[in-house]
A and B are shown apart, each in its own frame.
Chain A
């Protein structure tokens, strides 16, 4: 029978994660199965082909395309330096001489007698693929990359920006509902991952950038501050390549929302330890959420964890993810199976949530998320 499945975000103190580290194109592996790796260690390397520069010799020399080979000084496959002569004409009068010089250093990749073009390619660029997390190589994929496994604590955020960084985890606030103000940041936090509480204002972002903080983890921000930070209005949640000076992870969403106390407690326990974080988010099919991975020293007795849930159960801790009770956390106290009419007049499946103070609310099932690892 069909059942309601509401995947939540992982907040797990003990788990094992595997991360596939893949090159964008075939290359060489630098580690082997069983190797212990650290986050900043290169595990594979590839040569990215250089940029291609087309030059239309026929146009520049005012000749027919099929004549270009007669004017070329270099031939296909030759290396050329920047400003080196590629082709020239041989006029009777020297004044009319035209030389075509290479705009870049590289090699002549191809010639075309149909279009009169020469394609130059810059030298390849070496790309080192880093391990990202401290762990052990458990699988190698020839020419493509490796799988690194680590026993760790894992927190998934709801949204992030910026790429992979790592550093010491620092707690800057004392409670999950305390906003992270600029005064909470100090110069000794440079290169570290700073955990705040309910909200990150624009002034704190500016201060973090100034101090060279590697990453920020907070409950929420205002959309207008995100827009100011990025310099544009983010239309589609596909992120990870932004370069704003730090990686930012939101654990709850947009607005001032206290960080879930479970998340805050977990991060507090690991203050002073090294964490690897990634702001990469993709909210489409094949969802990717930002993550905070805090490797632990031992993996004994832990299996790789891809948390699977059968559905929502009575007693589950859930977070409400839509107004008017957005951000509130409670326990499932009722799961009526019949459709219920809500104030919009839609008839939907609902559940009943009881909050810590004893109040209850009826919420559409699609508007809650289970706090995983609870």
Chain B
């Protein structure tokens, strides 16, 4: 049997020392993982600029530089010239395996096609996103564009790969064949490499395979796999996702500078960075039986991952980010939405110029407190918009028949509802510079709370140094090592947020509460509307909280119903959010600034100055 190129290898020797890299667009990050006693720990890290572009044009240079930094810090000899010593020769020489992820060169950019936009079009989009791609366009027979416009669009794009879907097995073949004709007429060309054919995966109606082979077999590097929507009621994304990974390695990576060498260096297949992050998120959710939302907010893009009732979804908001795309956050959110989080007044022109100056000089950092507060305001909006985008795509299947009973008479819901239910959400995991490197952990926590408005009781955490990609790829070859490092070194629990649903006048009773802390201390008090309260609760500690909400207030157990819970502590602690849901800020400028200042001071968000 032939093994798919993206299938992890079977390793028959113990893995005690592992070096892993993530080749990002600008930085290559390396970490060293070692088995200490019975558990794996992340021990050293190093980083170096990524070297995909001129003058180096060889990704392995950056990898070797990053590993050299680890060598220097750990005093372990890992490199022998330009080779990584594997497996370990002795206690201080070599590593047992080297693994890597990559998003250098703009990641994996795909175009997908379907027949009906919100059915096979969306399924294809989910398959590509789940495989770690950025979807640059979704073409469908009913997308409203005229045929020649579709052809022009395909021609003008330079994707790394196309995923074609459409039709259920045994259905009509005409629309699929038509789309294949448009693609053939457009003669799409790949982003890298002038000489090679564009990889195209066909994962649609199996009856149309002969036609698709005839139309596209010569013009593209065609791969045929199982239909992603064999019947309307079921999605079958795994075969298409695996095929995307295979082609990513066999075609796309082969064209990127230095990747042939990198593939030879690694002991397991290279994964696209977001695919690896998705994998680790899925692993956590499965292991802990949790519903979770994960976010990675970068300079150019924001990735959102979710696992609800075991269903994994990922979206990438390609132009929402904190440096390269910061100006787009302003364009999409609007100035008023950003300004509502800024606890002082600033004129529009100054703020606009500052945001543009960050866009054109993306590596700068806030030097003053007001600059930091502006960036935090923008990040709240980027996080909020990315979640809205995610909710729109993380849905149940659309267009399917639903069985209804008499009890559904008053609650007629359409198919394709979002799977994101903030009430059943257990954990939010934040990652990316603005969250991982916030000077105070409470700043990360409140940014996520304000952007996502969690309901009821929700835990929050951040990735300490952005090592989730490394752990994702590691989990394919050694799940225990990935889990150990994830729990001990990667994930920093911030604490728990309790947010009652409902609204009331500022100062009115929201809920009575009683907290029993681990040392037996009892705190009994009232939470008023418009109030934030923070209680220290150490990481690993648990407290018992009982809340008796006001009549119209809901904690997820029904209006006015009391709730008793055991809550987890963290680097920040336990946050009681009485600001109401949906969260509404005062409309009047001075009242809004006063409210923000009150909240920020209540939790010690920024240094007092």
Contact = CB atoms under 8 A, between A and B. Distances in A.
Contacts of B517: none
Given A237-B359, A283-B359, A344 B368 contact: yes
Interface string B63-81: 0010001001000000000
B157 to A, nearest CB: 13
A114 B177 contact: yes
Given A224-B349, A236-B327, A346-B439, A364 B194 contact: no
Contacts of A33: none
A221 to B, nearest CB: 9
B211 interface: yes
B367 interface: yes
B355 A223 contact: yes
Interface in B346-365: 348-350, 352-357, 359-365
Interface stretch (B47-55, B160-168, B466-474): B47-55
Interface stretch (A34-42, A48-56, A171-179, A208-216): A48-56
B327 A237 contact: yes
A326 B356 CA distance: 13
Given A51-B152, A224-B349, A237-B327, A283 B362 contact: yes
A285 interface: yes
Contacts of A5: 49
A326 B358 CA distance: 11
A110 B363 CA distance: 51
Contacts of B356: 223, 226, 234, 253-254
Contacts of A364: 364-365, 367
Contacts of B37: none
B357 A2 contact: no
A369 B363 CA distance: 11
Interface stretch (B82-90, B181-189, B446-454, B589-597): B181-189
Which of A224, A232, A345 has the most chain B CB atoms closer than 10 A to its own CB? A345
A345 B607 contact: yes
B372 interface: yes
A222 B356 CA distance: 9
A49 B187 contact: yes
Contacts of B52: 285
B25 A285 contact: yes
Interface residues of B, number: 70
Interface in A316-359: 321-324, 326, 342-346, 348
B324 interface: yes
Given A158-B360, A343-B368, A235 B332 contact: yes
A321 B364 contact: yes
A266 to B, nearest CB: 21
Contacts of B25: 284-285
Given A283-B362, A324-B367, A253 B357 contact: yes
Q: Interface size bucket, A side?
A: 35 or more
Contact of B324 (A26, A110, A234, A236): A236
B437 interface: yes
A255 interface: yes
15 contacts: A52-B148, A52-B186, A114-B211, A232-B331, A234-B327, A235-B330, A284-B106, A285-B50, A285-B53, A285-B106, A322-B371, A326-B357, A344-B365, A344-B372, A369-B361
Interface of B: 25-26, 46-50, 52-53, 55, 65, 69, 72, 104-106, 147-148, 151-152, 173-174, 177-178, 181-182, 184-187, 189, 194, 211, 215, 300, 319, 324-325, 327-328, 330-332, 348-350, 352-357, 359-369, 371-372, 437, 439-440, 607, 609
Given A236-B325, A345-B439, 17 more contacts: A1-B72, A2-B69, A54-B147, A112-B177, A114-B174, A223-B353, A232-B331, A235-B325, A235-B331, A237-B360, A255-B353, A281-B360, A284-B300, A285-B26, A308-B55, A321-B357, A344-B372
